[in-house]
Each structure stands twice: as C-alpha cells, then as structure tokens.
Chain A
Amino acid sequence: MSHALRRPNDDDGMSEAERLKALEKQAAAIREQHRRGEITADQAAKKLNDLRRRHISLLDMLFS
C-alpha cells in the first residue's frame, strides 16, 4: 500500500479510516470492561460518550 498519498486529517497522525477502526476497537474494549464487571454501566456510558465526542470539531459542536 502506498503511503505517499496518505494525509492525516488530525494531529494524531491517523487517516480517517484508521481513526474509525480505532474508535470501534476502543468502544468494544469499553463494552468488554463493563461485561467483566470492571466498570459500571454509568462509567461505561460516560467513557463511550467521551469517545464519541473526542474528535468533534468546532463546526460539529455549533451545528450538530
């Protein structure tokens, strides 16, 4: 795969596709933590909400 054309969209150096996959994996990890009883449903919901909003832009915040 050529990386010459890849341009990261954000400061974390990930492409948007990589970021989406990373978010999916993190969401699965939070759900698994909750399933094992390591965190409460409330904590899991808070972590998932943070995950959803982590990469939100100013335009998204104003107009979503």
Chain B
Amino acid sequence: MSSDEIQRWLEQGYGRRARAWRGIRAFYYNKCPSIFRFRWLGLTHGSLKASLATSGPVVAWYLGEMSLATAGGIGGALFAANALVSMLDKSSAAKPLEGQRMESFVRFGDLLAALKADSVEELDKQKAIRACLGIIENICLPITKSRKGEISANLILYRGNSSTKMKVIERNPGNERPVGREVNGENMLGHHACRHDGLPRVVDDLRSFSSKWVSSPTQSRAGYRSIFFIPLAQKRSGRTVVRGFISIDCQRPFAFHGNRSRDIIVTCEPVTSLIIDLI
C-alpha cells in the first residue's frame, strides 16, 4: 500500500505555493552552482572585464576631475551593467547545431528501426540493452548539464509473472553499481509509478521523501537525488502490460525539472522503443 507521500507524488497533488517553491529550488540547484562555481581563469577574466568597464571613472578620480563618491557610483553602475550584459551574452548565444543535432537523432532513429530486435541474438541482447542505456546517459548529460558519472541509466524489470519482485537487468556502461539483483518492488518508487498508471514521472529531490525511500533498492547508499522514471509497456495478447521501467538518476536534485524531462523523453524515444523490443 502506498503511503500518503507516495500518493501525493503519484497524483502530483502539489499546491500553487509548493510548485513555486520547487521552481525556486530548481533554479538554485541548476543555475546557482554554475554562476558561483569558482574558477581561476573565470575570476581573472571577470576581474579584467570589470576593471576595463570601470576604468573611466577611476582615471577621472585620479586626475582630480571627479570626486571619489561620484567615481564610485558611476563605477558601480558600470560594473553592474557589465555583469548584466555578460549574463545576457551567455544566455542569448545562438545554438547553431540545434537543428542538425535533432536531424542526426532522426537518422539514428531510422537506423534503430531498421535493426529489428528479433535479429539480435539472445546473448547479444544484454549488450544491446547496455549500449542503449549508454546512449540515454549521453543524451541526458548535455540536457541536464551534468558531467560524466553524474548520470546513471538503469533497466529494471518485473521478474517473470511477479507483480512486485523486480530485477536490475542492466546499467549504462561504466556504471559499477550492482546488476542482476532481485529487489522488492514495494520499496521502489518506480514500481509505484508503474502500478499507478504507467506514466513517466520525475522525482525532483529524493530527500523530500521519508528515509525508507532514500536508501537504494540494492541496499547500497543512494548517491542520487533526482530520478526520471520511464515505464516500459508491451502489447501482449491484445492488452498492454508494464514490464518494468528505465530509471535515469542524477546526483544533483532537480536535474530533470521542467523542460528537461520533456526534452529527454522526446530525444530518447527511438532508444526506449528499441529497449521495449529487446526485453
């Protein structure tokens, strides 16, 4: 039986104030670290730009043309304007490869569709699934602005005809977390998402749930804070059966917040479709 907090997450029953607070937290976790991340080269570059922008009033004060207070005021205003322009420069920079990037994904989808899952040998299916999870990881890295190793893509399926016992089938290449372990689905948020309505769902911050859900299902300490669940449904004898889910997790909270999860689900669609054929 799901607890109230799980039910609220499944029903997305968050009020207007709670949603606004989540937006603020998403901004803090996704943007502030990059704004305030300390880099020597960045510090030198920023200082030089600020010095150049404020050099006029400083020289005027040195030559006695301006009082210290006036020079300080004008210098401060120029400094603030310079910082604002730098920020807008960065955010308005054209992304010329956006169209080509998506076209390459369309071509890639063509290739995946051409490679029928039936033609893959049983022994090679595991390798094919791992490669697919690696592709999902690499799609998610730039979208979530994460570094290699911060994102993990995992395939977890129901075992046989069981509706609660699950197994970690595969993880992305290079991921050293255990695979092949059987886990109790009742302790997994992804299982509840599958059983509720089988729709994709995002956990913005795992620590907003009680401690039961913060530990990893494989008994290891959960090193991730945000998760994106994509349930996998197959048609069997005319009815749709949820076979399990792909979980994409990130060490940083709110990594899949807002448009990021939408971008990921659109871009990864050919890969998740192939995984459904492979399982």
A residues lining the B interface (CB < 8 Å): 1-2, 5-7, 9, 15-21, 23-24, 26-28, 31, 34-35, 41-42, 44-46, 48-49, 51-57, 59-60, 62-64
Pair B99/A45 contact, Cβ less than 8 Å: yes
Which residues of the partner chain B approach A51 to less than 8 Å between Cβ atoms? 266
- A-B contacts, 20 of them at CB < 8 A, read A6-B12, A7-B14, A16-B202, A24-B269, A31-B109, A31-B269, A34-B110, A44-B103, A45-B105, A48-B102, A48-B266, A52-B102, A52-B263, A55-B259, A57-B259, A59-B23, A59-B27, A59-B258, A63-B91, A64-B259
Q: Which of B27, B91, B200, B259 contacts A21 (CB 8 A)?
A: B200
B residues lining the A interface (CB < 8 Å): 7-8, 11-15, 19, 23, 27, 30-31, 91, 98-99, 102-103, 105-107, 109-110, 113, 196-197, 199-202, 258-263, 265-267, 269-270, 272-273
Pair B197/A48 contact, Cβ less than 8 Å: no
Q: For the complex, what is the distance from the CA of A44 to the CA of B19, rounded to whole Å?
A: 34
Q: Given contacts A41-B107, A52-B267, is CB(A60)–CB(B258) below 8 Å? A: yes
Q: For the complex, what is the distance from the CA of A32 to the CA of B196, rounded to whole Å?
A: 28
Q: Which of A7, A9, A18 contacts B199 (CB 8 A)?
A: A18
A-B pairs with CB below 8 Å: how many? 110
> What is the CB-to-nearest-CB distance from A59 to chain B, in angstroms, rounded to a whole number?
7
Pair B13/A6 contact, Cβ less than 8 Å: yes
Which residues of the partner chain B approach A16 to less than 8 Å between Cβ atoms? 12, 201-202, 261
Which residues of the partner chain B approach A28 to less than 8 Å between Cβ atoms? 269, 273
Pair B27/A63 contact, Cβ less than 8 Å: yes
Q: Please provide the 6 A-B residue pairs with the shortest distance between their CB atoms, ordered closest to farther.
A: A5-B13, A17-B199, A45-B103, A27-B269, A20-B200, A5-B11
Pair A1/B197 contact, Cβ less than 8 Å: yes
Q: Which of A6, A7, A15, A42 contacts B103 (CB 8 A)?
A: A42
Which residues of the partner chain B approach A41 to less than 8 Å between Cβ atoms? 103, 106-107, 110
Which residues of the partner chain A approach B262 to less than 8 Å between Cβ atoms? 19-20, 23, 52, 54-55
Q: For the complex, what is the distance from the CA of A43 to the CA of B53, rounded to whole Å?
A: 45
> What is the CB-to-nearest-CB distance from A47 to chain B, in angstroms, rounded to a whole number?
9
Pair B265/A62 contact, Cβ less than 8 Å: no
> What is the CB-to-nearest-CB distance from A25 to chain B, in angstroms, rounded to a whole number?
9
Q: Given contacts A7-B14, A17-B200, is CB(A46)–CB(B99) below 8 Å? A: yes
> What is the CB-to-nearest-CB distance from A30 to chain B, in angstroms, rounded to a whole number?
8
Which residues of the partner chain A approach B31 to less than 8 Å between Cβ atoms? 63
Q: Which residue of A lies closest to B99 (CB)?
A: A45
Which residues of the partner chain A approach B200 to less than 8 Å between Cβ atoms? 17, 20-21, 24
Q: Which of A6, A23, A54, A59 contacts B11 (CB 8 A)?
A: A6
Pair A31/B113 contact, Cβ less than 8 Å: yes
Which residues of the partner chain A approach B13 to less than 8 Å between Cβ atoms? 5-7
Q: Which residue of B lies closest to A5 (CB)?
A: B13
